[in-house]
Structure 1
Amino acid sequence: MFPISDDNPTLRTPVMTYLTLGAIALVWIFFQGAGLNAVAMAASVCNWGMVPGELTGLARLGLPVPIGEGLACVVDREAINVLTPVTSMFLHGGWGHILGNCLFLWVFGNNVEDSMGRRRFVVFYLLCGLVAAGAHVLVGPSSPVPTVGASGAISGVLGAYLVLYPRVRVNLLIPIFFFLHIISVPAWVVLIYWFVLQVITGLPQLNQLNPEVSGGVAVWAHIGGFVAGAVLIKLFENRRFTQQRTTWRHRLHPDHP
């Protein structure tokens, strides 16, 4: 199922959400070659993706990690590695990866930004992304595999949305056999289902004998980001903004909670 919209209007233009989406798109197209240039993709992931074992120093120096036909990332000790928890938030590994992340940020990010203001949203977004990166490193501190994607930071947005607007209706696109259907459900159904799915997927990764069993998806980054967003939102929320939003939403949708 894919969220495509919600019944949650905004009072202020979500400038930072749009700029973040734009930055992600520009990096994907002009820096990563839109996935069409294997060498450019590999170079971006290897040089600017986050490698837990490089940050902790626990991955063997010079260890090659295959990431494509004839291509591999090599564990190094470059000074630039300390920036990769941030730079990796703007990189992606494929069209499905970037489109999925951007869809979730498009649907949920505008309302979260509208609840706290633009400057707070930027800090909140980056902080959730850093907590997500920390959770990923904590689970696999010696991993030599590079991690990329905005999903950790976006997971923080989802956690914040759950706390702020659990009963707002979210419209889901669901494929059933050969047809597409749109249904409307409370946000808490969508977000708790998503979170439980991440936990179920991530639990096997705690097996220290095989920490990469989650199939290369950094699910503990998702979990860490989601929890961070749910915990931090009350520190970043502008109560005046959320009260204005609640009043306005009830005027537009008097039959919805």
Structure 2
Amino acid sequence: MLPVRDQLPTRKAPIVNYLLIAANVLGFFWMRSMIAAGFPPDRLLSLWGLVPAHLLTEPTDTWWTVFSSMFMHDPTGWAHLGGNMLFLWIFGDNVEDALGSLRYAAFYVLSGIAAAGAQILIDPGSMIPMVGASGAISGVLAAYASLYPRSPITVLNPIFLLWFIFGLFLELPAWLVILEYFVVNLLNGLGSIGMRSGGVAFFAHLGGFVAGLFLVRLFMVGRSPREHERWQHFRAAPRRPAARRDAPWGAPRRRDPWGW
């Protein structure tokens, strides 16, 4: 299910989230410019991407690729970057709003580090460069599902025939949309065990997601995800108590506690 938007408001502009998106987009165009200038794509990915075998054998020379790889994407196409930035745009602003900008920046980086660690643990001898923000963004998705599980998410209806019944878009709770993301990555990850060919680093997604579930509880200490007034719009209005049937006709009624 491809998410299109959510409906949660924010108290202030998500500056860190904007900066993360900008950094990823700039990294993508920088890689494309290097390739256009004649730099071999494989060499570029090996230098700036995370290669598990290199990191484990030469950690002092390659430790920084853990961070550089978070802002690099496959330079040969737009789908990798576009999908990641769409998810970050939809879910990242509310997580930053809940955590606070500085905490959100630290949360994002730690989720990315956990994602890299999970992929290295699964395939420590891999020579395939790993690039992309998917692991860190998976942590953001986990945080969003933990903080706002019932938030309505508009998704593209994935079944063409159902377009004529439910329309092009569906509105589903965040927990269901994000659970589907986790299950798909889990199944694909289990199916990829033992495969040495290039592809998607599913265990990086899973590692970032699991890290996000734990980290969000730590980073939310002392904060409330629903402390701003505009969140009241998304909370169910209190029900008015029903009138007593045995009250005599015309008798004065006691004012209910809601003031209605």
> Is TM-score (shorter-chain normalized) higher than 0.5?
yes
Q: In structure 2, the residue corresponding to 1:86 is in which secondary structure?
A: helix
Give the direction of change, closer, same or farther, for the CA distance of 1:193–1:89 in structure 2 (3 Å limit).
Answer: same
- Match of residue 187 from structure 1: 174
Q: Write out per-residue CA displacement over residues 13-36 of structure 1, whole angstroms, 9 at most, x where no aligned residue.
A: 100000000011111112333976
- Across the aligned residues of Structure 1 and Structure 2, the Cα RMSD in angstroms comes to 2.3
> For the Cα contact (< 8 Å) 1:116–1:238, is it kept in 2?
no
Match of 2:196 among 212, 215, 225: 212
Unaligned 5+ residue runs, structure 2?
Answer: 238-260
Match of 1:243 in 2: 226
Q: Cα offset for 1:92?
A: 0.4
Give the letter for the 1:84 counterpart: T
The amino acid that maps onto 2:65 is T
Residue in 2 that maps onto 1:68: none
Partners of 1:51 and 1:200 in 2: how far apart?
Answer: 24
Question: Which of residues 96, 102, 120 is equivalent to 1:137?
Answer: 120
| TM-score, length basis structure 2 | 0.81
Change (3 A) 1:31 1:205: closer
Deviation at residue 232 of structure 1 after TM alignment: 0.8
Spell out the pairing of 1:104-183 with structure 2 (5 A cutoff).
Answer: 104-177=87-160, 181-183=168-170
1:46-73 CA distance string (max 9 Å, x none):
111000111122xxxxxxxxxxxxxxxx
Mapped contact 1:31–1:40 kept (Cα < 8 A): no
Between the aligned partners of 2:114 and 2:61, the Cα distance in structure 1 is 19
Q: Does 1:4 align with 2:12?
A: no
Higher Rg of the two aligned structures: 2
More strand by share: 1
Conserved? CA contact 1:32–1:40, under 8 Å: no
Count, aligned residues = 231
TM score, norm. by length of structure 1: 0.82
Identical counterparts, % of pairs: 41
Structure-2 change in CA distance of 1:34 and 1:197 (3 Å): farther
